[in-house]
Amino acid sequence: MSEQTPLDPAADDSRGLPEGDSSGRPAGDPGLPDGDPFGLPEGDPFGPHNLPYGVFSLAGEGEGRRRVGVRLGSYVLDAGAAAAALGSPYVSLLARATLNPLLAAGRTAWSDVRRALTAWVTVPAHREAVRPLLHPLSEVTLHLPFEVADYVDFYASEHHATHLGQIFRPDAPTPLTPNWKHLPIGYHGRSGTVVVSGTEVVRPTGQRKAPADSAPVFGPSVRLDIEAEVGFVVGAPSAHGTPVPLTDFREHVFGLCLLNDWSARDIQAWEYVPLGPFLGKSFATSVSAWITPLEALDAARVSPPERTHQLLPYLDDSAESVADEPGGYDLRMTVTLNGQVISEPPFSSVYWTAAQQLTHMTVNGASLRTGDLYGSGTVSGPAAGQYGSLIEITWNGRDPLELPDGKRSFLEDGDEVTLSAWAPGPNGTRVGLGEVTGRISAAR
């Protein structure tokens, strides 16, 4: 690892890219609309090499006017209107209120639509038609971009799982449970409470019982935490009863987003044995408003960490046919609390790949649905400054964070947490991921 301080935004920038902020935007570039959406600064992380998808409405239009948008710099392209204006056959996929029809259309359509969009925003002959359909981000409302079908959350970071083992099972022979290196551990979550970035998160109320207490008490959580994760969005469904092999990952998964799995540690600790997370997690899960297509991230693909155990064949990604398409993604994540950078988790350090998670999730014959969402689990690197949750950062409250407005072991009402990230793009560019932010409000 780099010897630089982990909280330096430019730390671990081994590719020698220009210094920039956590969205990947070059230093000194405010990213403000300059009146010409086609006049993007060179190296803008939301340039034509990125083109993430979202759903937006214009101020004052109301909910009924939601439509698919594609981000270009600090603008949003009304993708369906562009398709109509340019006589594209993809109007049926893009002139919609949600991404689900595009998600369901499958990999060939995803590529074709992306190629068309790239042309619409780069070919000078299209500019006259496209320019009026680009809206400044400051003038739009962003909505949950797809209808979430099933939601699964994994536990795929070895460093995160190790840290939690050290915190909760200090007397165990090893911090990892015996199954951890043999399968990606996960649980089924609550899709109806997945919310878009910017949505207020109400402090959950429930039962908790500290080990020294004789009986549980009821009230607002006093140990509310974050989990910095990456979410994967399933497009093409699979047949019930038929497992999805590792090699079919990109036939089914459309793209990814940042995800914050808000977690009430006190509720979780009292309820989770023996069936796993329940009310300590299900109150809210925040996702970014932008879904980055996997095709925009080809330059960010990396091999996952070295495997220390022989994997069963269905999960073994060392075979040539799979290893040709490395399953890791080099996403450089940043976590801020009330504007202060508190962590920079490296997604490339996550042990189980998104392909292995998808394959394991379906190996019993469980089917995929369009709009399925699965989280990677908290992303934590090995070093201090790379932990993706407060329970690790403060070591279960032993080492509180010192913030300008006071100490924090867990979240206070009014605290705002933002996850952002960028990835290496083609030709030395950066691909910015849409941020996910949420503010805690008092329990009701």
The answer to whether 365 touches 137, Cβ cutoff 8 Å, is: no
Nearest-approach distance from CB 261 to Ca ion, in angstroms: 4
* Identity of the residue, 418 or 429, whose beta carbon is nearer to Ca ion in the bound complex: 418
SS (H, E, C) 59-78: CCCCHHHCEEEEEECCEEEE
Closest to 344 in 3D by CA, of 375, 381, 376: 381
* Identity of the residue, 153 or 330, whose beta carbon is nearer to Ca ion in the bound complex: 153
Q: Which residues bind Ca ion (CB under 5 A)?
A: 153, 227, 261
Residues with a catalytic annotation lie at 160
Nearest-approach distance from CB 113 to Ca ion, in angstroms: 31
The answer to whether 220 touches 204, Cβ cutoff 8 Å, is: yes
Nearest-approach distance from CB 373 to Ca ion, in angstroms: 12
Q: Where does 20-97 have alpha helices with state H? A: 79-85, 91-94
The whole-angstrom separation of Cα 330 and Cα 324 is 16
The whole-angstrom separation of Cα 251 and Cα 433 is 22
Question: DSSP letter at 272?
Answer: -
Nearest-approach distance from CB 376 to Ca ion, in angstroms: 8
Nearest-approach distance from CB 148 to Ca ion, in angstroms: 15
Which residue is associated with the tokens 């990125």?
A: 50
Nearest-approach distance from CB 151 to Ca ion, in angstroms: 11
The answer to whether 436 touches 333, Cβ cutoff 8 Å, is: no
Complete edge-to-edge strand list for the sheet that includes strand 140-143? 134-136, 75-78, 67-72, 53-58, 140-143
* Identity of the residue, 113 or 335, whose beta carbon is nearer to Ca ion in the bound complex: 335
The whole-angstrom separation of Cα 333 and Cα 288 is 13
3-state secondary structure at position 416 = strand
The whole-angstrom separation of Cα 304 and Cα 347 is 10
* Identity of the residue, 77 or 284, whose beta carbon is nearer to Ca ion in the bound complex: 284
Quick one: how many helices (H) and strands (E) in the chain?
11, 26
Q: Where does 236-341 have alpha helices with state H? A: 249-252, 265-271, 320-323
* Identity of the residue, 98 or 199, whose beta carbon is nearer to Ca ion in the bound complex: 199
Nearest-approach distance from CB 398 to Ca ion, in angstroms: 22
3-state secondary structure at position 331 = coil
* Identity of the residue, 78 or 261, whose beta carbon is nearer to Ca ion in the bound complex: 261
As given in the structure block, the two tokens for residue 387 are 């932990």
* Identity of the residue, 21 or 227, whose beta carbon is nearer to Ca ion in the bound complex: 227
Give the CB-nearest residue to Ca ion: 261
Residue 98, CA distances (Å) to 39, 159, 360 in order = 29, 36, 28
